[in-house]
Amino acid sequence: MANPHPHHHDPITAATLELLKKHDPAIADLIAKEADRQATTIELIASENHVSAAVMHAMGTCLTNKYAEGYPGARYYGGCVFHDQIEDLARQRACQLFGCRFANVQPHSGAQANTAAMMSLMEAGDTFASLVLKDGGHLSHGMKINFSGRFYKPVHYPLHYAKDHPEHERIDYDAVKAVCREHKPKVVMCGYSAYPRVIDFKKFREAADEVGAILVADIAHIAGLVAAGVHPSPFPHAHVVTTTTHKTLRGPRGGLIMTNDEELAKKIDRNVFPGVQGGPLMHVIGSKAVAFGEALKPEFKTYCQQVVKNAKALAEALVKLGYRITSGGTDNHLMLVDLRQRSEKLTGADAEKWLEMAGIICNKNGIPDDPRPPKLTSGVRLGSPATTTRGFKEDQMRQIASWIDRVLGAGLESPETLESETKRVREEVRSLCSTFPLPA
């Protein structure tokens, strides 16, 4: 079997691999390879992060053995006394973290959190307003191939598209109001998967109130920044807030729904279970509680402040190298890089593939008003949460920008140049990663 992660410093994974080698060497080998990949590459995918050993350990406990359908004090199975206490603790910490009254910690994902929220607020066929996916929205905000677009009627508000406008590629709040007046949506959704600017939740609430709509803020990407006070909070403006617990919040993969409205909280609970889910993943809920506890500590605020500094440093360095950042920059943890200014030949698909060869992991992403199809795209989305977790600062982010430019420039030159340059950059990336190991 391959060497089980020579560069990995996480004792949890190491112990797991030792156990798995005896029971299932094939899976052990694949996990070892993935652990090595994570340890020796630079993670720039904006929706990914590296959890602490404590968060990871909580997921791999005996909590996975238990069915706990229902809620604390009202389960459909016996033997849930400690699971009740764990879920209560997770809910209390979530409420403390985000300054709200009610939290449901059971959703398995952000998309399922959105499903339950929509079921709580709308009937099939009702209209809701959101930002379209190609402008930075999310699959679960009204795509026709998703439940949100199949069972409800999405209408979309636009970004500013005039290139000479100071708010170019940012949310057009006047247009949000106009769309609401025209279509009278039951729900207005804000919060996005590829939007690099501060969201004005107060303006969204004003637009919703004008037509009697309910405001839902999906803060999946910025939840950690919100919790740390680095991005404005959707409370008290939003009626309902949904989020994932990974990404900037640096917890396990899962979802969360919050509100200050007791009646809405009861509806949401019913629509999570039994509405869209059965038994909760108690090992993940335990891990969520650990992550919320970590996010309540002062050092998490420092971390989130550095996330934003690092994103700005990367964006500014790329601009100096001849790339265009949509909307002119970033206020949060992510940016969309328009590759066409570097070369009309460059596609997001090429960039993603070439950079991965060099150990730099990102994802192709459409840019606002992108003329290319989603499988190609004209841009890449880059984020700073995972690199900041490793301890990278502004200097390292500027170095990453240089590597990105070297690789993409080589790819534009010839396959031979690309091959030799990606090998050189890969070794440099490996060396930097060994200096900044993953959290132990």
Q: Which of 218, 269, 316, 352 is catalytic?
A: 218
218 is catalytic: yes
Burial of 195 (0-12, 13-18, 19+ CB in 10 A): buried
- Helix H segments across 50-151? 53-59, 81-98, 110-121, 147-150
Where are the extended beta strands (E) located within 118-274?
Answer: 127-131, 153-157, 187-190, 214-218, 240-244, 255-259
User: Two tokens at 281?
Assistant: 């993943």
Phi and psi torsions of 142, nearest 5°: 125, 10
247 is catalytic: yes
Whether omega for the bond prior to residue 385 falls within 30 degrees of 0, making it cis, is no
- Closest to 232 in 3D by CA, of 191, 175, 193, 264: 191
User: Two tokens at 233?
Assistant: 């909070």
Q: Which of 91, 250, 253, 312 is catalytic?
A: 253
Distance CA 308, CA 333 (A): 5
Helix (H, G, I), strand (E, B) or coil at 248: helix
Distance CA 227, CA 223 (A): 6
Q: Which of 16, 243, 244, 389 is catalytic?
A: 244
Distance CA 340, CA 273 (A): 47
Q: Which of 247, 267, 288, 312 is catalytic?
A: 247
Q: Which of 29, 36, 48, 69 is catalytic?
A: 69
Q: How far is CA 352 from CA 47, 337, 343, 385, 424, in A?
A: 15, 12, 15, 18, 17
Q: Which residues of 19-46 are buried (b: 16+ CB within 10 A; e: fewer)?
A: ebeeeeeeebbebbeebbebbbbbbbbb
Q: Which of 37, 66, 67, 301 is catalytic?
A: 67
253 is catalytic: yes
Residues near 423 by Cβ (< 8 Å), separated by ≥ 6? none
Distance CA 358, CA 428 (A): 9
Longest Cα–Cα distance in the chain:
65
Indicate which residues carry an active-site annotation. Answer: 67, 69, 218, 244, 247, 253
